[in-house]
Amino acid sequence: MTAQILDGKAFSARIRDRVAAHVARLRSEHDLVPGLAVVLVGEDPASQVYVRSKHRQTVEAGMASFEHRLPDDTTEADLLNLVHQLNNDPQVHGILVQLPLPVHMNASAVIDAISPDKDVDGFHVSNVGLLGTGQNSMVPCTPLGCLLMLREHLGDMSGLNAVVLGRSNIVGKPMAQLLLNENCTVTIAHSRTRDLPEVLRRADILVAAVGRPRMVQGDWIKPGATVIDVGINRIPEGEKTRLVGDVDFDAANEVAGAITPVPGGVGPMTIACLLANTVTACCRTNGLPLPEGLTV
């Protein structure tokens, strides 16, 4: 038997529809237009693609999009000034500073200058602390997307063994925290983990966020497990390149109960969750009920 494919493209379209419906209600009932400001410093080609995509999807959802493109040699002080302006701008409900920043800037200082209420990436230390203590917070977009997919597929996850492979601040750690909040028994594996295949074989839910193409083998997966592959790795194929995940998809597909493909799994969920977080931020700021199915 092959695994059920968890279609992130279709699910993210449903999330964007929910966002757009909520935005339409905010506009008509409260005269409010959720606004997202995205700041890009420098010319990194991948970041330019992400920022374009974020702008397009924000506008398509009926929200206001404010783009700020700054040259590579912008000083940290100038960037912090812009962040302060956006913090004080009532039309802006969400602020995202596209990473990576140029090396002369201290990314933590910039992220922590963003008002926690507008920190739609969920990277501010206050939001990390709120998530860690099980309180309402802005949740980082990629783990939020993974969790929404898991909830949709599994419903109640209470008591399940979840293994998160990777312990980065943007994916692994918040993902583990979210699964803990869902009452899973959570293990975080990383580069120093001993007997990794054996640890992974215990997972009813496996989230791979390691950045190593097809590292997770079929026989590392518990039969029937739900596998979420966060990895986005570009590998050469003949004259061209192709995207693969951190999981050997063909092998895992024979063992897992359900699996996200790459591309078309977690990837499309990330921007959809950025839009969802912007609506959540707008509602919180204005003391309005949060949109259903878009938060945790």
Nearer to ligand NDP, 110 or 141 (CB): 141
CB 107 within 8 A of CB 124: no
Identify which of residues 128 and 230 has a Cβ nearer to ligand NDP in the complex.
Answer: 230
Residue type, 163: V
What is the closest distance, in whole angstroms, from the C-beta atom of residue 270 to ligand NDP in the complex? 4
Residue owning tokens 């097809």: 214
Tokens of 181: 């909040």
- Of 127, 104, 124, nearest to 113 (Cα)? 124
- C-beta of 61 vs 86, nearer to ligand NDP: 61
Give the residue with the Cβ less far from ligand NDP, 208 or 225: 208
When the beta carbons of 3 and 266 are compared against ligand NDP, the nearer one is 266
**Inter-CA distances, 121 with 111, 147, 189, 199, Å:** 9, 15, 24, 30
Element (H, E) at 66: strand 64-70
Burial tier of 36 (Cβ tally within 10 Å: 0-12, 13-18, 19+): buried
Nearest distance, CB of residue 138 and ligand NDP, angstroms: 16
Instruction: Output the smallest distance, CB 201 to ligand NDP, in A.
Output: 15
Least distance in angstroms from the C-beta of 208 to ligand NDP? 8
Closer residue to ligand NDP, CB minimum distance, 206 or 283: 206
- Residues lying near ligand NDP in the complex (CB under 6 A) are found at 142, 165-168, 170-172, 190-193, 196, 209-212, 230-233, 266-267, 270
Decide if 214 contacts 237 (C-beta within 8 A): no
- Measure the N-to-C terminal CA separation of the chain; round to a whole number of Å: 32
Pairing of strands 258-259, 240-244: unpaired
Q: Which residue has the tokens 């990194």?
A: 44
Least distance in Å: CB of 261 to ligand NDP?
Answer: 12
How many residues appear in the chain? 296
Shortest reach from residue 119's CB to ligand NDP, in Å: 17
Q: What CA–CA distance (Å, rounded) separates 97 from 111?
A: 7
Torsion 8-232-150-94 (CA) sign: negative
- Classify burial at 31, counting beta carbons within 10 Å of its beta carbon; exposed 0-12, middle 13-18, buried 19 or more: exposed
Q: Where are the alpha helices (DSSP H) in 61-119?
A: 76-87, 107-113
Catalytic residue numbers? 54, 98, 121
